[in-house]
Structure 1
């Protein structure tokens, strides 16, 4: 492993910007100082005019392995992730076979060790009948328990009230929930089919996967968490009304100790229902992209710390699958390669500070999930770093996409910032144009 000296960077960490050098040695941040002499044989990177931040830790991705690798794989999607400045990911259990027992969980860790360019952890999925697996889970074995409180993924919809109560009462790790009320969505789908048949317009997705379904389910999750003292993290908030539920439960300053936290995703911060006319199924996702009023409210909630974390919910499908009619086109979109760049657009527009972006994508994730020695630019911590050129435009095109599905809802868009380099565990895995395929990612460890 090479020693690397990054010179003349603008470091942004824990709300403080400073001009500094940073030395990487043995995969760790060895020293941060205004001036550092280069050790013999060190690689030197001149970062003048560029921003150096901790790598994004994405707490919600679907990399499709095992069983769905025609859409993506740990190898392809982790490579796209590091090209986008994401150095660690937490991956979801709705694969084939589903990650609902310890053996399946460990099989994914073994596969990631063979192929992942980024650091990794995995959720154990909850079902109506795997309560004992959850109770006996080693807190080091999974980043969290994923509960689909609204879903149609095999048997992963947990709708048995007694089971939900028991999971919230006994989960040894944070619970991450997908909150939508399935009976309400089913009724909306039936009404839409009665009116339009199979030709339901994509722009109705936000009404079918409705705000009422989200609000009802999120309220239930929060009530269960409060009743049982569970550590609850509600994923991908999409409505203005849900935000009040979290604002009322902001009682602790430390995310490490907080019981109830909320997340927004980059696409819900970027797109609104006006984009269905041009992008159609490309932005069909669950929960749905909703109104411009909702988008603005979520953006404001990020600024006010009502939203704690920003993630992607990266969920690739093949282009052919996405060309189907409403009921057949799957929900989900690929996002990891351009997530940070989309957030920097909010900075350029004056809507988010750089400090807020780093807090929500790195520091807060490390705190919420009790990650060990990651998420900050600190001496002794793992050297998971991203160098950003805030003033170099970057145009998304099919020939620079790294997703296996080879499409993006951002295709043709020019971002005002560029990811200049990414390091994972001290290894430069992306140099601004080329991403390595070397499996340098490490298993995430937890202080639990």
Structure 2
């Protein structure tokens, strides 16, 4: 733990990391609002949302379809804006930290424009949902922002060009602006569009997971480990979000239940849904409901407590993005180990309970945005043993996070804000 703290402190002093932290914190309010509206949409205005199912809102609420469309479009635009701002602020912050010059926001504008071109060009039909899917990958705007910020600061430091608004400077800045767009845009577009290496890895992983007739505990663990690792570094795409969703066993279980209505004898009790969804993702990837609780119990840092108190309700509904931005958890070495270990421990508890027949496997389909602590309970048709196992997994995960969150108080109070002091 001491070495981990030393490494993290050194990382906090590096300009690129401070730029990322500051960008995440500046975007946190927008992320929090966006996630709040997303929860309303998923619970009330999605046709499979839990409150929509309970109250039959699509029948009983006038204007349901219009409100649903408005919320969905607002959500998409909000998350696209977040990605664009992430590219803008990362470039801005890094330039200011390295060059310490006034540059009329050119680094941020360049980065934003390049990233906007990227997400538009890589959405095949240029419709809002596809652009939103592309913009969900948070690592790309951060990398573009860092590359742009480094480029501008490098040029500013190694030339006599003063970034002021004069005719001579403006002509040179237009040239720099154009070259950076061509260079960075071309490289990023090529890498993102082809994706040869990621596609190869994805195919190999899927082949491994589909070997054999049914999933195993270790295959599910491997799939969720890769997914969590990717999400920790902001890699959110089809590869990381659907890597474990290619097992046909869950369909076989539902077919069996439709005929026999007996959870204890389903053909495949060990599935992604019965383990990870039910026990290993309480609060989203990384068991972040446990982290939010541990922060409120242990940490004195006012910013961390504010973020956890605001986000804990959202994590109950499995929406942990605001917590990822505000602490932050993204790219934070303090939390990588518990982010990967906590889901594994909780899944292991669920696995032991299922194979020893203490609880049935959760096989019933659960409505969207169901509170995560109730997923195993509802997925087993109201088995209180499954609810108890979920609580045990949550408590153990909190204990895993506890020693790591205690280190937050030993880090700089202003996580990355120095560029805006």
Q: Same fold (TM over 0.5)?
A: no
Q: Which has the higher helix share?
A: 2
Relative to its length, the structure with more strand (as a share) is: 1
- Under a length normalisation based on structure 1, what TM-score does the superposition of the two structures give? 0.24
* Structure number with larger C-alpha Rg: 2
Q: State the TM-score, normalized to the length of structure 2.
A: 0.26
